[in-house]
A = this chain, B = another copy of it.
Amino acid sequence: MKKRIVIIGGCAAGPKTAAKSRRMNPDSEITLFTKSPQVSYSACGLPYYVGNRIDDIKKLEIRTVDDFKKNNINIHLNSECTKILPHKKEIIVNNEYVPYDDLVIATGAIPNTPNIKNCKLKNVFHLRFLSDGVNVKNIAKMSKSVLIIGFGYIGLEMVEAFLNNGLKVHIVENHPHIMSFLDEEFSDLVEKYIKERDKDLVEIYKDDLVTEFIGEEQFEAAITESGKRIEADFCLIATGVEPNTSLAKDAGVMLGYANAIKVNHKMQTNIENIWACGDCCTKYCLITKLPTYFALGSIANKEGRVCAINLNGEEEHFPGVLGSSVTKYYDFSISVTGINHHWVMDRCREHNVEAISATVTKLDRPSYMPEARPITIKVMADKKTGKLIGAQGVGIGDVDKRINIMTSALLKGATVDDFMHLDLTYTPTISGTIDPLLTACYKLKEQM
Residues of A within 8 A of B (CB): 12, 42, 44-45, 48, 53-54, 59-60, 153, 286, 296-302, 305-306, 318-328, 333, 335, 337, 366-370, 398, 400-401, 403-409, 411-414, 418-419, 421-431, 433-434, 438
Contact = CB atoms under 8 A, between A and B. Distances in A.
A438 B434 CA distance: 27
Given A54-B370, A368-B60, A433-B297, A419 B411 contact: yes
Nearest to A442: B305
Nearest to A54: B368
A430 B60 contact: no
A431 to B, nearest CB: 7
A370 B48 CA distance: 10
A433 B305 CA distance: 12
Contact of A368 (B12, B45, B322, B425): B45
Total copies of this chain within the assembly: 2
B370 A45 contact: no
Contacts of A367: 59
B324 A433 contact: no
A87 to B, nearest CB: 33
A321 B42 CA distance: 40
A295 to B, nearest CB: 12
Contacts of A300: 433
Contacts of A325: 425-427
10 contacts: A48-B429, A297-B426, A298-B434, A301-B434, A319-B418, A326-B430, A327-B427, A333-B430, A398-B401, A409-B412
A218 to B, nearest CB: 32
Contact of A428 (B44, B306, B407, B425): B44
A320 B423 CA distance: 8
Contacts of A423: 286, 298-299, 320-324, 337, 407
B369 A425 contact: no
